[in-house]
Structure formats: C-alpha cells, structure tokens
Amino acid sequence: MFENLKNASEIFSKMGEMRGKMEEIKKRISNLRVVGDAGAGMVQVTSTGDGVVVDIKINRALFDSEDNKMLEDLVLAATNDSLKKAKEATEYELKSVTGGLDLSEISKLFGGNLG
C-alpha cells in the first residue's frame, strides 16, 4: 500500500516538472517568428509559432494594380503559408525538446494545444 503512495508521489512530482517544461516550450514557441510569402515575395506575412500574425508587408506595386482580387489572393496565400510554417516550426521545436515524443495529448492536460 505504501509503495503505491510512493509511486503516486513520484508521478505527481514528474507532472510538476513536466508542467514547468511545457511552460518553457510555450514561451519558446511564442517567440518563434516565421515568414510566409506569395507572389515571389510581393506579399510577406510574419506569424509567431503559436499562430498569431504579427506583421504583413505588401509590395507597393500591388497597390497600383487594378486587380484587387489578386492582392486578396496573395495576402491569403501568404497568410496560409506563414501559419503552415508556424505549425511546422512548432512541431520541430517540440520534437527537438522532447526527443520526438508526441505531446499533443499530454499538452491538453495542461490547458494547451501544442503539437
């Protein structure tokens, strides 16, 4: 009976350590910056590793164009490219820290959705 209590104590201790590591990982991911682009770099969108768009750059020549639909399509494509790269960077960061262990289910226990 006491052995089970000792094991439970060890498990809770390790969960506390894991929570600390998850917080560190979340900070690292939030600090990641990736750039997606479209139209050979005419539109660039920068987002964080956790999928927040933080910057958009549009080549001035696109504003002189009569084709608004093209500009909209390029912004959409660059945004999607940026968010895809953010997801890939997040997955890479998680794997590098965890040695390839999939934390997507475990992270949900800590209120996050990493991976």
Q: Two tokens at 9? A: 């104590």
Specify if 1 maps to a domain. yes
Count: domains in the chain: 1
- The model's pTM is 0.71
Specify if 112 maps to a domain. no
**Contact (CB, 8 A) for 43 and 77:** yes
Kindly report, residue by residue over 34-93, the tens digit of the pLDDT: 999 999 999 999 999 999 999 999 999 998 888 899 999 999 999 999 999 999 998 888
Cα 35 from Cα 48, distance rounded (Å):
9
Cα 13 from Cα 11, distance rounded (Å):
5
Tell me, what CATH number does 7's domain have? Answer: 3.30.1310.10
Cα 31 from Cα 108, distance rounded (Å):
20
Specify if 109 maps to a domain. no
Amino acid at 55: D
Give backbone dihedrals phi and psi of 43, rounded to 5 degrees, phi first. Answer: -125, 130
pLDDT category at 26 given cuts 50, 70, 90 is: confident
**Contact (CB, 8 A) for 42 and 83:** no
Range of the domain at 6: 1-98
Q: Two tokens at 56? A: 């958009």
Cα 74 from Cα 32, distance rounded (Å):
23
Specify if 55 maps to a domain. yes
